[in-house]
Structure 1
Amino acid sequence: MPGSGCDRLSALPESLLTHILSYLPTKQSVKTSVLSTRWKNLWLSVPVLDLSRGDFPFGEDEAVLRLFDRLLEFDTASRLLKLKVDCGSVEIDGLMDRIRTLIHRGPQHLDVESFTDYVDHDDAFLYPFIDYVPLNLYTSRTLVSLKLSSSGVEDPGFVYMPCLKSMTLVEVHFRDDASLEKLVSGCPVLEELTLVRDMDPKVVRSDDEFMRVRSGSLKRFRVPLRHGKWCSSSVKCTLEIDAPALELMTLGEDHFDSIVVEKSLTSLFLVDLDIKFVVKFGVFFDPGEELSKRNEIRYFLSGISSVKHMIISEKTVKALEIYSKVGLIPKFNYLSRLEAVFPYKLLQFLPAFLECCPNLKHLILEVYYSREMEDAFELTDVPQCFLSTLECVQLKRIHEWEEEEMKVATYFLENAAVLKKLTLSFTNYPRYVSDEEILEEVNKVVKRSPTCQILPDWDLCE
């Protein structure tokens, strides 16, 4: 048996040691070189380079380049499987040249966050300095996943990345409107695309008015929340989606003032909408004046009408309610599960929207109540799904279980003929009414539907 002072870690095979080091940032991996002679150059054989400009003292850009050069010179035949570089808030002159060389090494995963700066030009305006990714990226035959942030994409010309399955583009600057389409179309097995448009008018040109996502293999497409309430731009942009195999689509923010679905998405399983169909913050369209916007919404809803599971936010509900006054919401005949957030003042729109979901089985409803409610509401219309398919309803974020909240629960209990389970999810916020008092009131509602299982859930909503 080895003695208690034996270095068992250093006795492990090199392949296992480099695998362990691959889970560390490169800065930490390099530090292991001082442990012993065995460890001196071990970090150079790690198949992962994870480097951030923030790992180096301010002004030490040359140190970053020296680390790259050391890696490139150590073993020209070694293959780097994963490359992650974050330039931080500074330009590192010559870094893209090193990345170009590393791309030739055949990485499978590439994650580059570049640097965008603004410089004065004739004291009249600012123009952006953009770091463009190497052109050899567009013909990589080994990349499986690609993430670019604040990087530039020149006219890629010929694009062919035969193994790329996942691509994330965060505030990427394209030379022209066709660059995104070329990039996506050149990836024949691409399954997942995440896209965040740059909303800064200092960077986005006024002629950047069109972005097309065209792919025959794409299954998941996301536009995630990033800018929050400040999501706005003076540059209008249309997003066109031509992806007939799409199964999941998340449009989580108003990056685009116009969204066009080129072909009906018949394979769509889940759609998550947090948009109001215009990009300007705080503004909804005028249904009486904007014919083009009405047509756009109509075509979009028709394009996603085959979806099985839908999630819609409060602002999307508001946009649909406005549209319903001048246009017909299509039937979602395949929709079996709906998650929706309704402001209290729009509850009158709930039955009309549910009428468009004739085969709905599961409904998760969150209602925002207001203390300054002017008019009492009445839910009287009974959608078709109440009579034949709606089996499970969950009412989320119930607080005090007041009259308005009881009224919504009662509406389902009295009218949903095949309802099997109603879940009442209470918040954990401090309340003036005790749990015992709420349970007593819930039991009064239970008596209205003795065949339906009612489950008070105290812990679901934090």
Structure 2
Amino acid sequence: MIGLKTRTKKKQNTIREKDKRDFLSALPDDVLVYIIHFLNTATAVRTSLLSKRWNNLWKSLTTLSFRRRHFKNRVSYNQFVHHVLSHRDTSIRLHRLDLKACTVTQELLNHITPLLHYVPHLRIYLDYSIPVIFSSPSLTSLTLSCTPGILKLPSSLELPALRTLNLTNVAITAKDGDECAEPFSSCFLLNSLDLLGCSLSKPAKVLSISNPNLSRFTIKRHSEVSYKIVLSTPNLTHLAIRNWLTFHEVSSTCDLALLEEANIEITMRVLL
């Protein structure tokens, strides 16, 4: 009877030990990487603390999202960005980068700059200029926000694969001595363009939007300075213009036969 009880107890212990096994860590690497892909980058990197099995999995992530709110201060944020970019597996191509680029060291900038040459999808907030982002053969989607007054676009963007462009608080420039700025004309695949709070740098007085494939165009500004907008967009289907304090003169070189929706809102200041 005692022997039977002992065998039963051992069997129960064996079952408990099996229940305690880490079945998740036994999954293949590509499955685990797929799972941590759904975590924010800060949490994904922390999985390396679980066990040796997880130590290097995050280095294969194809999406990196650095959010300032996940860190107590700018120093710890910058240190984390530096750690991830300097230790990730560079043989694996980065697909998407979401970055708030705080004032950083030259060493960190050296890690960021090469990524901007080949990442297809980029969302970035700048408080300083990184001009290399305006020249990339593979960038298809760019969302760029910056503090007002710090960043000027070059007169022409060398982004041949770009399809979606969202710009906030950037200054648009023309070629030397030219009054017409046309920075997007070489983006032949551009389909959607949003300009929020963007301005024209002198001596430019006209913003030309010349793109054969552009389907959606939105411009929103809050300024007393107006400029002319000329559309050369035969495939435009959606147009939205919202201005505060001023009115932009808008014209088109084509009949906009495909236009389905146009929203134009002008809010003027009333002096009492």
Matching residue of 2:266: 275
Structure 1 residue 102, shift from structure 2 partner? 1.0
Aligned equivalent of 2:100 = 86
For residues 232 and 245 of structure 2, the distance between their equivalents in structure 1, rounded to whole angstroms, comes to 18
Query: Is 2:85–2:112's contact at 8 Å kept on the other side of the alignment?
Result: no
- Report the Cα offset of residue 30 of structure 1: 1.4
TM-score (norm 1): 0.48
Partner of residue 243 from structure 2, selected from 253, 262, 268: 253
Other structure's SS at 2:249 match: strand
CA contact (8 A) 2:171 2:201 kept: no
Q: CA deviation at 1:27?
A: 1.2
Match of 2:123 in 1: 111
Match of 1:172 among 151, 170, 173: 170
Larger Rg over CA atoms: 1
Shift of 1:138: 3.0
**CA distance in 2: counterparts of 1:98 and 1:154, whole angstroms:** 22
CA contact (8 A) 1:197 1:255 kept: no
**Cross-structure match for 2:114:** 101
Cα offsets for 1:204-239 (capped at 9, x unmatched): 766564322211110111235xxxxxx642433332
Are residues 9 and 172 of structure 1, via their aligned partners in 2, closer, same or farther at CA, if it must alter by over 3 Å? farther
Q: Residues 103 and 232 from structure 1, CA distance in 2 versus in 1: closer, same or farther, beyond 3 angstroms?
A: closer
Structure 2 length-normalised TM: 0.77
Q: Give, as a single letter, the amino acid of the residue that structure 2 aligns with 1:64.
A: N
**Mapping 1:72-83, distance limit 5 Å:** 72-83=86-97
Q: Structure 1: how far apart are the matches of 2:155 and 2:38? A: 33
Instruction: Tell me the equivalent position of 1:134.
Output: 131
User: Contact conserved, 2:174 with 2:182, CA < 8 A, in 1?
Assistant: no
**Aligned counterparts of 1:212 and 1:47: Cα–Cα separation in 2:** 36
* Of 231, 245, 267, the match for 1:241: 231
Percent identity (aligned):
25
Contact 2:142 2:164 in 1 (8 A): yes
1:34 counterpart = 2:14: no
Q: Which amino acid aligns with 1:192?
A: S
The amino acid of 2:184's aligned partner reads V
Q: How many equivalent pairs are there?
A: 248
Q: Is contact 1:237-1:256 (8 Å) kept?
A: no
Mapped to 2, the partners of 1:77 and 1:167 lie a distance apart of: 28
The offset of 1:98, in angstroms, is 3.0
Q: 5+ unaligned residues in a row in structure 1: which ranges?
A: 116-130, 225-230, 284-462
Runs of 4+ more than 4 Å apart: 178-182, 204-208
Q: Secondary structure at the match of 1:3?
A: helix
Deviations 1:212-271 (A, max 9, x none): 2211110111235xxxxxx64243333222211101112233486223222221111111
SS state at 2:184 partner: helix
Q: Secondary structure at the match of 1:33?
A: helix
1:269-348 equivalent positions in 2, closer than 5 A:
269-275=260-266, 280-282=268-270
SS of 2:259's equivalent? coil
Code of the aligned partner of 1:160: E
Structural RMSD (CA): 3.1
